[in-house]
Chains A and B, each alone.
Chain A
Amino acid sequence: MLYAILCYAHEETVFAWSKEEEAAVMERLHAVQEPLAKAGKLGPVGRLMPTTAATTVRKGKDEPLVLDGPFAETKEVLLGFYTAEFDSLDEAVAFSKELSAVNPGSSSYEIRPFYVFHPNEIKAAEGGSS
């Protein structure tokens, strides 16, 4: 089964990390992902920019409304995602627990199976260094 692991966190806290703290967390997260990647079971992984960079297109009366910011204002926001193939939910839970253990910033990981997967590659990606 294909799963998306969605990481939710308090944005203010995570973006208050120093560069060193940030690098340390990223390194640990990378170590957790490595076995999956080696087994060819890890799909695209993304760290989302702050919600301030988000735009929402929402159904309006006549035509869709384009709004600044994320859809809902919540205390915890979607901060990043993993896609991977797991044989069972237990595996997905175990992986999420490992992520959680090394990431003090994360509040929760939502495990969401999905149907369709296009492993398309974006060639001219800007930024996305991690």
Chain B
Amino acid sequence: MTDLAYIELALTAARPQALGALLRYFRDLDTAEEAFQEACLRAIRTWPDKGPPRDPAAWLIFVGRNSGVDQIRKRARNEPLPEEAAFSDLSDAEEDIADRLDNAHYRDDILRLMFICCHPDLPNTQQIALALRIVSGLTVQQIARAFLVSDSAMEQRITRAKGRVAKAGVAFETPDVHERAERLKTVTAMIYLVFNEGYSAGIANPDSAAFCDEAIRLVRLLLRIFPAEPEIMGLTALMLLQHSRAGARFDKVGQIVLLEDQDRSLWDRRLISEALAMLDKAIRHRKPGPYQVQAAISALHARASHPDETDWGEITLLYELLEKLAPSPVVTLNRAVALSKLKGPDAALDLIAPLAEKLDGYFYFHGVRGALLMQTGRRGEAKIAFDRAITLANSPAECAHIRQQLDKLNMPMAQTV
């Protein structure tokens, strides 16, 4: 790694804290981003000679704030004086660097920066794009490649989303306990969206698969500033566990490999052991939540060295708990899969029968139903379900997987069981 590459890494790492603080000072995202950018340029110029500072974020906030103030003053010479309220207390801009970093604020600074990306008017994909641009500092080109759109289209999308956020106004006052808890919940969900965007892309699109690493980086950041939140621990564990299987989820030609068929020696044991440690910490709090339960389910798979050793009884119980904590037809569908391992396909088919209407447009529902019907030997119905699944597939890999199932259907009976 060159010095420059290392500096860039340090800048990326310091970004959420530094940009979050600059946003609080200037109360305007564009001004804050420009100021941060300027500070980064100066870092690249001066750090190689003088060495990186002990606290890169504090350095960037100090330099960024001064440069932002300069910019505003320059503009002010040509334009009418800016309103005082446009930026907060700039009078102390020459204070000592050590006092600059307002530790009492930095948690809320980072949380706010993440939270503005989660505006409820923004569709999921825009929340993801905005978070990756603003919080993670990915380039527009990187994000565009991941979403398979042109750079200019993504640029437009992000600009529009930013406009929406600016118009909505951002709450700059320090949030109270309830507001902070709400923000945490929203931000946690957004981080999981980022992860899922990468997870569902799999190896088909390496640009978006990198989102998984980014989401894990973000959730660790959130957990470092809110270390005692069991649901953030739960989400961390969940994402680490899901990500630990990245090397085993697809075969050489990019086909989906189901959990029970995966080569478990390819699972990343380091990520798994960190996840298990996180889950242990979360459970100590005795405040179960949906992320913790999903992580616990995933952990039971991770602990089984062979699919036959999977504790389906415990998994079924955990899905029941999840249905109570966060009821949804998709959770019931997952419980049905676990139940089929325990009590056979008929019990599972009974359980999902009432979901047919609600999940009619859901790929996974028809895929699961087809597989269950195939197990009971109802080939005709299985074929109809698989055909329906293919029309709803979200990716070529999903499509190919169902085709394989259809091929199995066409084989003589003896080979399918």
Contacts and interface: CB of A to CB of B under 8 A. Distances in A.
Contacts of A67: 228
A62 B54 CA distance: 38
A25 B227 contact: no
A47 B276 CA distance: 17
Q: Main SS of chain B's interface residues? A: helix
B138 to A, nearest CB: 12
B392 interface: no
B1 A127 contact: no
A120 interface: no
Interface in B1-34: 1, 3, 5-6, 9-10, 12-14
A1 interface: no
Interface string B268-297: 011011101110010010000000000000
Contact of B12 (A16, A49, A128): A16
B224 interface: yes
Nearest to A17: B9
Interface stretch (A33-41, A51-59, A89-97, A109-117): A51-59
A66 interface: yes
B217 interface: yes
Contacts of B278: 52-53
A127 B273 contact: yes
Interface in B189-246: 213, 217, 220-221, 223-224, 227-228, 233, 236
A10 B13 contact: yes
Contacts of A68: 227-228, 233, 281
A18 B213 CA distance: 9
Nearest to A52: B223
Contact of A52 (B54, B213, B220, B273): B220
Interface string A75-112: 11000000000000000000000000000110100000
Contacts of B5: 21
Interface residues of A, number: 31
A16 B8 CA distance: 10
Contacts of A17: 9
B301 to A, nearest CB: 15
B284 A127 contact: no
A107 B227 CA distance: 24
A25 B1 contact: yes
B274 A69 contact: no
Nearest to B272: A127
The 4 closest A-B pairs by CB, nearest first: A127-B273, A69-B227, A12-B13, A68-B227
Interface of B: 1, 3, 5-6, 9-10, 12-14, 54-56, 213, 217, 220-221, 223-224, 227-228, 233, 236, 269-270, 272-274, 276-278, 281, 284
12 contacts: A10-B56, A12-B13, A16-B13, A16-B217, A49-B274, A52-B224, A53-B274, A53-B281, A68-B228, A104-B3, A128-B273, A130-B270
